[in-house]
Amino acid sequence: MRDAGIVRNRAKIAATINNAARCRELIEEVGSLAAHVWSFEPSPESRPASLDWNALVQLGSAPEAEALSKDLKRRGWAFVGPTTVYSTMESIGLVNDHVVACDFRAEVEAERHRFKRPRRSA
């Protein structure tokens, strides 16, 4: 709690410890956390064909983020609301929310196409 370099919210610290234990259970059940998370990847058809700023603002989140959030909460995870889950989906490349005008959009999309999705073992 005295380390200024980390989150100092007791509930978030407790949730992190709890989520680590829940993660181990999930891995035992399905084989990997990555495979489980990637199983919630939105279909390309559900994403806007052309993503400009207005489309991005309207998009906001994805039904798959809400579904993954509910799944994790059902498994006992904490602090995994749809907004947090969607941000995670963006950060790992599960969704590409770079607008068409962004120099990185094509690079991210190319990496997404090359990426071999992890598969569940269970």
Whether the predicted pLDDT of 45 surpasses 80 = yes
For 77, the domain range is 10-114
Render pLDDT for 78-94 as a digit per residue (tens, 0 to 9).
999 999 999 999 999 99
pTM confidence score: 0.87
When pLDDT is cut at 50, 70 and 90, the band that residue 3 belongs to is confident
Q: Does residue 3 fall inside a structural domain?
A: no
16-21 contacts at long range (C-beta below 8 A, 24 or more positions apart): 18/76, 18/77, 18/78, 19/77, 19/78, 19/79, 19/80
Q: Does residue 107 fall inside a structural domain?
A: yes
Render pLDDT for 90-116 as a digit per residue (tens, 0 to 9).
999 999 999 999 999 999 999 999 999
Tokens 């989906």 belong to residue = 89
Q: Does residue 4 fall inside a structural domain?
A: no
Residues near 23 by beta carbon (within 8 Å), at least 6 away in sequence: 33
Q: Does residue 90 fall inside a structural domain?
A: yes
Please tell me the distance from the alpha carbon of residue 9 to that of residue 111, in angstroms, as a whole number: 36
Q: Does residue 120 fall inside a structural domain?
A: no
**CATH code of residue 63:** 1.10.340.30
Count how many domains the chain has: 1
